[in-house]
Structures are given as structure tokens and as C-alpha cells.
Amino acid sequence: MEALCPFRRYPGNPIIRREDMPYPCNTVFNAAACRFGDEYILLLRVEDLRGHSHLTLARSPDGYRFRIDEEPWIEPSDDPEFGPYEELGVEDPRITRMGDTYYITYTAFSRHGPRVAIGRTRDFRTFERVALAGEVPNKDAVLFPEKIRGKYAMLDRPGGYHGVPGAIWIQYSPDLIHWGGGRVVLGPEPGWGSGKLGVSTPPVRTEHGWLVLYHGVRATGAGNLYRVGAMLLDPEDPERVLGYAPHFIFGPEEIYERTGDVPNVVFPCGMIVEPDGRVKLYYGAADTCIGLAECRLDELVRVIQRGCPDMAVSL
């Protein structure tokens, strides 16, 4: 089974629960992740008692034991440009490092629906909003860690509501503010991700191409089931999918993934690749807590390659 689902859960899961938060909240889940100096950083989505979300930082020396900041770091804005689109919360962040800047994509949520927002920091103390990217509905956005043909590139998920298929798209920008050139990268297919797809973690460059983890949703008699897939994109033309695993590679199995505010959900927003090739995957479990699973980078690539014997890369 490990050849199909290479991730191994950390025995101390969940690593962060509501009870670990230093202030009252409903749930904590869907955390972005990165390395910053000698620390591991998690940017937690925290849902308050009203049902609105904000983002709070947690820090760790080892990636397992986290100290959570006493107060939220990113709350809905009162700026007239951003405020109307964040009135109901800021959700599901992802972190992409470019040089000495850490770009944070997140979902701005309002009565108008979900919208992609972009911000940045250099020190994880100050935060600057950069842009609202595109219109509603759109979410699950991640930036590539380097420019593609001289432009910023972003994977996102427009649609997915009211009968519109939720597919993974790519678009480009000269300045992180003006976006266009949208193309479909990967759409739902019959099977484990037949409902909608969305990118989970920012792309990681490997010798075989851009490794991207994504979530797939399947409607069942008991509600939606969220699981994780993996694909490789062409390193020079990421609109081109080199291959993807035909099966999910990680799904809800444990009680804390099966039971919660939204049952049967594993939803990664952060993945850290260590210098030795070990991978730490941080994921929201049942929209109620945060789990950690680990594998090796080469195991992830092999899972895709085994499922795509015609890929133009070798094992």
C-alpha cells in the first residue's frame, strides 16, 4: 500500500488542536508551512466563535512541536480596497518563497464569494497586502517560486460552484496585480476526484518537473470526501501535465480525519522538503485540527511515474 500512498502519519497527530490555541476559537486547520531561518513556520487558519476565519502564526524548532502566537497575525482588513472582500474572513493560506520574500496567497471571503488575495512578508512580523487577483469565485491559489518566461505564474481554482466544474487553472502576471492568460491545467475525471479539483501545496521543482499536490472531491451518500493527488508539470511550460497518479495518494483514515466540523477531509496547504529529501506535509483534518504526514520526495515522484508508464521521465 505504501507504493500507492507513500505518506506516513506522525504518531503524535494531531499536532495542533483547538485546545492548544492560546485564545478561544471554534477550530484550527488548513495551515501553510515554510522554513524561515532555523524555524519551521505554520500559518494557521483559525475559525472564531462567529464562524469567521483569521490567520495565526505558530513556530517550531523541529517541525513537530509548535508554539502558537498569542494573537492573530492576519485578520480581515478594514482597508477600503480589501475590506469588502474579507468581511467574512481570510482562509486557507499558502506560502511561496521568492528570494528573501515570502508571498502568501489566501482566500478572501465575503458575501460576494471567495476571491484570491496575495500578500507578502520578509520577517513574519509585518504583513503587506499586495493585490486581489481576479474575480469571484476563485480560491486554492498558489504561486510558483520562480518566474515562468519572465512572468509570475499562479495555479488557482475558478469555478466549482453552482454546477460549474472546479478545475485547476494557470494564469500569469507581470507584477502580481494584473493577471491573465488563463488556461486549464487539470480538470475532474470520473473516480476519486470527480467533483472538483484544487491545488493543495505550492509547486516544488524537481529534476523531473514541477511537483504539485492537489485535492480532489468526490460526492458520496455521506457528503463530500476530500483526498489528495499528485502531478508533475513541465518545468518550462507548466500548462503541460507530464503525468499524474491515477489514484489518490492520501485520504482520511483516522478518527480525527473522519470526524469533525466537516468529516472525511484531509486538506494540505503546506509542504516542506528538507535538504535530505524528506517531506513534511501539514494538513487540515476534518476542518477541526492539524495533522502531519511524512514521506520522501523520490517516493512521491515514483508514485506518479508508476501510474504513468508513458511519461517522458524515467524511474
Q: What is the pLDDT of residues 71-129, one digit of tens each?
A: 999 999 999 999 999 999 999 999 999 999 999 999 999 999 999 999 999 999 999 99
pTM of the model: 0.97
Task: Inform me whether the pLDDT recorded for 65 exceeds 50.
Answer: yes
Task: Inform me whether the pLDDT recorded for 2 exceeds 80.
Answer: no
d(CA 103, CA 93): 10
Q: What is the pLDDT of residues 133-153, one digit of tens each?
A: 989 999 999 999 999 999 999
What local confidence, expressed as pLDDT, does residue 1 receive?
A: 54
What local confidence, expressed as pLDDT, does residue 314 receive?
A: 41
What local confidence, expressed as pLDDT, does residue 132 receive?
A: 98
What is the average pLDDT across 217-223?
94
Residues in the chain: 315
Task: Inform me whether the pLDDT recorded for 227 exceeds 70.
Answer: yes
In this prediction, residue 315 has a pLDDT band, given cuts at 50, 70 and 90, of very low
Q: What is the residue-wise DSSP string for the chain? A: -TTT---EE-TT--SB-GGGSSS--SEEEEEEEEEETTEEEEEEEEE-TTS-EEEEEEEESSSSS-EEPSS-SB----STTTGGGSTTEEEEEEEEEETTEEEEEEEEEETTEEEEEEEEESSSS--EEEEEES-SSEEEEEE-SS-BTTBEEEEEEE--STT--B-EEEEEESSSSS-EEEEEEE---SSTT-SEEEE-S--EEETTEEEEEEEEEEEETTEEEEEEEEEEE-SS-TTSEEEE-SS-SB---SHHHHSSSS-SBEEEEEEEE-TTSEEEEEEEETTTEEEEEEEEHHHHHHHHHHH-TT-SS--
Q: What is the pLDDT of residues 256-301, one digit of tens each?
A: 999 999 999 999 999 999 999 999 999 999 999 999 999 999 999 9
Which residue ranges make up each domain of the chain?
8-307
Task: Inform me whether the pLDDT recorded for 313 exceeds 60.
Answer: no
pLDDT mean across residues, the chain: 95
Task: Inform me whether the pLDDT recorded for 3 exceeds 70.
Answer: no
In this prediction, residue 309 has a pLDDT band, given cuts at 50, 70 and 90, of low
Identify the bridge partners of residue 106 per DSSP, sorted by sequence position: 117
Q: What is the pLDDT of residues 159-208, one digit of tens each?
A: 888 777 899 999 999 999 999 999 999 999 999 999 999 999 999 999 99
Percent of the chain's residues with pLDDT above 70: 97
What local confidence, expressed as pLDDT, does residue 311 receive?
A: 61
What local confidence, expressed as pLDDT, does residue 161 receive?
A: 80
In this prediction, residue 310 has a pLDDT band, given cuts at 50, 70 and 90, of low
Q: What CATH superfamily classification does 8-307 receive?
A: Glycosyl hydrolase domain; family 43 (2.115.10.20)
